[in-house]
Structure 1
Amino acid sequence: MFIRKLTTVDAFVAVDLGDVAGHGVARCAPKVLQGGAKDLARTTTYSLAVLGRQETGVSAGINATPEDRDAAVAAFAAEVAGWDAGYRFVAAKGVDACSLGAIEAASEEALLAAGAVAAARAACADATTAVVDGSAGPALAAELSTYGIKVVDAGDPLTAEADLLFLGAKVGMLDHAAADRLRVRAVVPTGPLPVTTKAVAHCRRNGVLALPDFVTTIGPLVGDAESVRSLVAEAIGAVVDHGDGPVLGACEQAEAFLAGWQEDLPFGRPMAA
C-alpha cells in the first residue's frame, strides 16, 4: 500500500498493489483522511480478487472546500488521466457523477442491488422480510420485491426484526454492541466496511450471518445483472458454511487468488476497526 500525491491539486491516491491497473472511488471534502482511503482501497482489492482479476484497489482523496470543489475535481481528473496507470474511479462522496471524465467508472445502483440480494438469498434462501438503511437507493427495494421479500419499515434498522439487514451508509456503523442487539438472520453490506471486526465475531457467536462487503457490493465491477447474480450467489454459497464464518472464508479465497500473482499478500484484511 502506498500514497501517490498529485502535483496540481491537493489530492492523493491510495494504491494497494503496484504496477497494475486499478478501480476504486474518488471522494472530495475539506480533509479526506489517508487512513480511510487505504481501507477502501484494500476492500476493493479483495473484490477484484474474488472476480479473479489481477488488478488493485485504489481510493482517491481530493481536499477542497465546497467553493473550490469543482476546480479541484477537474484538476484531479486531468492529472490522473495523464498517468500511465490505468486507474478508474467511481464518483463518491463530494464528487458529482460525470465529473471525472476519462477516468470515471460507472456505478449503477441496480447492479449493486442485484449482487446484494443474490448474496442474501444464497445465505438465507427462505428469507421473506428485510430491513434497509437506505444506502442502496430504490433499486434495492425493487430487487427485493422481485423475489417476494418485503421491506419492513423501521425507525432504527439496527434493532428491527426481519430476516435480512441491508446496511452500508457508513464505515463501521455496526459495532459489537449493536451486533448484540440485532434481530435478523443475516447482515448484508451495501457499502464498504459497514461492519467492524468485533461485530463480525459477535454476529458469529450470536448465530447471525455477517456477509463480506467485498463480495456483496461487487455488482458494479461486473457489468450486467445476470452475471452479477450468478457470480455473487456462487461466491457466497462457497463460504456461507465456512467454519470461521463467511467473512473469513471469503478472505481466504481472495488471498488464495492474490498469492498466485503477488509475491507477498497485502498486510491486513478488509475489515473496519
Structure 2
Amino acid sequence: METRQLESTPGFVIYDLPGAQHYVGETRLGSRLIPGNATMLLRHITYVFATLEQQRSGASVGLKSDPSDAASAVEALATELVDDFTSGKLSTGPGLRLDAELLAPVLAHDQRNLIGNDDCDGISFNSELIGVGATSAAASLVGGLDGKRIAIEGFGPAGLGIAREAAAAGAIIVRVATAKGCANGQLDPVALAEAWLADGEMCVATLSGNGEPAKPWTVWKDDVDVLFCGSKPAAMSGDGASTAGATPVIAFSAAAVSSKALAVLRAAGTPVAADFVAAVGPALGWWADPALTHDDLRAATADTVNAVMSETASHDDGPFMAACYRAEAFLTTWQDELPFGRPLG
C-alpha cells in the first residue's frame, strides 16, 4: 500500500496495490482524516476487482480540510492530479462530507461508464445493482427468497435497492434500521421508498407510525431468515453476531462485518456472504460496453454473484472466507505479495 501526500492542499491519496491498471475509490473530506481509517474501504474495492479477475485496485483520496474549504480543496485536487484523472489511472467518487456537486471539478474527468449514476425511482442504478447482488447472494444461501423474512441494517439507497429486489422475489421485509433507530412490521417497498426519500435516516420514525422507533441494535435478532448489513465498516460487531444466531448474514458495503463478528458467526456455523461479492454490480458497469443496457448489467450482476456463491457457499470455512481465498488466488497471479488484511471491520 502506498500513501502519497498531496502538495497543493492538505491531504493524501492511498493506492492499495502496485502496478494496477486503474485505481478506484471514494474521496472523503475532514480535517482529522487518518489514512489508516480508509484501509478497509479501499481493500473492499481491491477484493471486488479480484472477484471479477481484473488487475485493478482500490484507492482512497483524503482531503484534510474543513467543509467550509471544500470547494478550494477539490479544485486543488483536480488540478494537481489532472493527469491521473484524465488518463483514467485514478477514478473517484463522492465519499464522506462530499457530494457530486462539490466534487464536480474532479468528476468532470471521470473516464468510466457512468450508467450507474442513472436514476432508478429515486436511487442510483448502482444502488439497484447492489440490491440485485445482495439478494442473489441471499437466495443462494437460503434456497430462494420467496416467503423468507428479512431484516435490513443500514437502510438507505442500497438498502432500498435490496428491499425492492427482495420483495419482487417474494420476501417479507419485517425490519429495517438506520443510525436513528429500527422500524418493525411487515414493510412495503413503496412505503419504505416514500419514507426514505422524504425523511432519510429518520424514516424509521415515520415507518413506526411517527412513534419512537426501536433502538438500532434491535435489528440483530434471529427471528428472520436473512440479515442484510451495510451501514458502515464493522456494522455487525461481535455483540450483534452473538444475537443473530444461525441467521445467514449478507454484507453489502465495505467491511460491514467485523473480524470479531465473523469469528462468532463461523463458530456458530452461520453463513456470511462477503461484501465484495454482493456489491460487484457497480464495478461491472464501470468499464462496460456503452451499448449494454440496465437489464444487461442486472443480469450480469446476478450471474456473477450466483457463480461465485455456487463455488464458495458450501466451503468448510464458510462462504466469506472461501470468497477471500478465491479473490486472493487471483491476486497472486499478478502481485508478488498479498495485501495485509482482509476486508473486515
TM-score by length of structure 1 reads 0.93
Q: Which runs of 4+ in 1 moved over 4 A?
A: 104-107
Identity of matched residues, %: 29
2:151: which partner in 1? 131
- Residues 38-95 of structure 1: CA deviation (Å, up to 9, x unaligned): 2211221111000010111111111221211222223223322323671111312211
- Residues 96-147 of structure 1: CA deviation (Å, up to 9, x unaligned): 1252321386552111111111111112224411111204242221111111
2:44: which partner in 1? 43
2:223: which partner in 1? 161
Q: CA deviation at 1:149?
A: 1.0
Q: Which amino acid aligns with 2:65?
A: A
Look up the SS of the partner of 1:181 in the other structure: helix
Q: CA deviation at 1:242?
A: 0.8
Q: 168, 171, 179: which is aligned to 1:149?
A: 171
Distance change >3 Å, CA 80–CA 160, structure 1 → 2: farther
Matched-pair contact (CA < 8 Å) for 2:241–2:261 = yes
Number of residues paired by the alignment? 272
Unpaired segments ≥5 residues, structure 1: none
1:173: which partner in 2? 235
Matched-pair contact (CA < 8 Å) for 2:88–2:110 = no
| Distance in structure 2 (CA, Å) of the matches to 1:104 and 1:208 | 40
| Distance in structure 2 (CA, Å) of the matches to 1:29 and 1:225 | 35
Query: Do residues 192 (structure 1) and 265 (structure 2) align?
Result: no
| Distance in structure 2 (CA, Å) of the matches to 1:160 and 1:196 | 18
Q: CA deviation at 1:161?
A: 2.2
Distance change >3 Å, CA 265–CA 85, structure 1 → 2: farther
Which is greater in Rg? 2
| Distance in structure 2 (CA, Å) of the matches to 1:75 and 1:35 | 23
1:6: which partner in 2? 6
Query: Do residues 95 (structure 1) and 84 (structure 2) align?
Result: no
2:120: which partner in 1? none
The equivalences for 1:76-115 within 5 A come to 76-83=77-84, 86-97=89-100, 99=103, 100-101=106-107, 102-103=109-110, 106=114, 108-115=126-133
Q: CA deviation at 1:195?
A: 0.9
Matched-pair contact (CA < 8 Å) for 2:235–2:256 = yes
The equivalences for 1:9-24 within 5 A come to 9-20=9-20, 21-24=22-25
Query: Do residues 60 (structure 1) and 75 (structure 2) align?
Result: no
Matched-pair contact (CA < 8 Å) for 1:19–1:85 = no
Look up the SS of the partner of 1:257 in the other structure: helix
Q: CA deviation at 1:256?
A: 0.8
